[in-house]
Structure formats: structure tokens, C-alpha cells
Amino acid sequence: MSINQNDQADVAAQVAVIGEIYGKADCVSVLLPESDKDAYETIAELLHMAVTLLSRKRLFDYKPYDSDPEDPQLQERSTIASRFFDLVKKFQSNLGEYTYWTRAWTFQEWARAYDVEVTLDTAASNDTGGTTPSILRKAKSTIVYAASMIADYKLRKGQYAEMDLGWSREFAKPNLDRVKRLFPFENVFTSPDEISVDEFRFQTVLPNEGTETVLGLRASPEQVRTDEDQFKARLSGLNRLLA
């Protein structure tokens, strides 16, 4: 679909159609232009780290006093988790330099789709040695799940966390919110109407009993939402994107 970005009427009409299509898609393929190679490589590294962290979920379980801080595997995951959020900040800082994120349809493609798979267009280049860039599958969901796991771990353990993430408990939610803005996997995000004030207060005081309400995450993402709740969750996501 071709859009004349200088024609506001064409942009409005076409983007509305695109949004309808992407909103019903299970996954959308995103082809980044060659000029956005840095963005592709950043997402690839984030995805690799996310998969690595998610493969060791037991290290993030809330089990006080049973972990050895000198465990090499624990130290390795600590380094990866810290690097993960540093890279997210870098990605956010560079977002304005990427061609893909200046296009009229990007929001519809990136935000409305349930999930995305990302690759890089190198057709016009000869510096790849004939190799084709890998397809980065389930980019949004995998990165968000890893970030949620780390934020949950830090909220639960606080100053007693065996992993040194380089930031204190108070930054758990802001760091996760940054990931949620950049990778809007809205299926796991709560809308304001889905948040219990009492539960929020309880988890703020006793995060070891649960953190999903404080972090704005659905306890049961597999449960089907009403169209109204889905819309409100998307609206909440819009506010994060514009923040």
C-alpha cells in the first residue's frame, strides 16, 4: 500500500485502513530500511538477551535465602539483565534517527499488531556477502516478557536481590514502562478500569505477594477481553507512546 505522506487526506484514509488490518493480525512482518541497520541490530541484541534470560526463569523466582551470589550463572544473568535495560535506553534515544519510525503507518504497524517479526532490507547493498539478515520473531512479546520478569524480580526482592541490576527498586516500574512504550505488546497491559485500587495498595506494601497490578500487567493475559476493555488498554498504550 502506497501512502503520499505529503497529502494529509491520503494519510488519514490509508492509515485508518492499515490500522484495521493490523489490528486483526496475529503477527506483522516489519521490513526495516537499510538505513535503520542500527535499529535492527539493537532489536536483535535485545531479543537474544531476552531469550537468554527467559531460559533461566528459576533465577528470577522469589525464593529468599536460597541463592548463592557467587554463582557464575547468576552473575552472568545479572550482567545481561543490566545490559538489557541500558540497551533499551539507547534504542529510545536513537528512535528519532530511524527512518522507519518517521513513517505515517509505523504506529499502526508496530503498535496495533499483536506481535511483530523484524528483518532488514539489504537488497540495495553488497556488503552482506550474500547473506540474508535473520528474521527476529515475536520481537514485542519476548522483549516485554523478559522486561516484566526482571521488573517483577526487583520489586519483590528490592535491596536483597542477588542480581546487581545497577538500579534500585523504585526504578522497576519506570524501566518497564519504557519497554512497554517501545514494544507495545498490549495483550498483557492493563487498562485503567482493570486495576484494583485495593490490590494496587496491597502490592505496593507487600510486593512479594504479587506485582502485576503495580506494574500494569494482566494476571491472566489468555483471558478474552471485551472490545471496550481492549480499546481502553490500547488507549492506555497510546498515552504511554505519547509520554
C-beta separation of 139 from 121 below 8 A: no
pLDDT tens-digit readout, 101-153: 988 677 778 887 889 999 999 875 555 555 778 999 999 999 999 999 999 99
Phi and psi at 189, nearest 5°, equal: -90, 140
DSSP 136: B
pLDDT for the residue 192: 75
Nearest to 208 by CA among 160, 147, 174, 138: 160
Domain residue extents for the chain: 8-171
pLDDT for the residue 198: 85
pLDDT for the residue 46: 98
pLDDT tens-digit readout, 63-97: 554 556 567 777 888 899 999 999 999 999 999 99
User: Whole-prediction pTM value?
Assistant: 0.81
C-beta separation of 119 from 134 below 8 A: yes
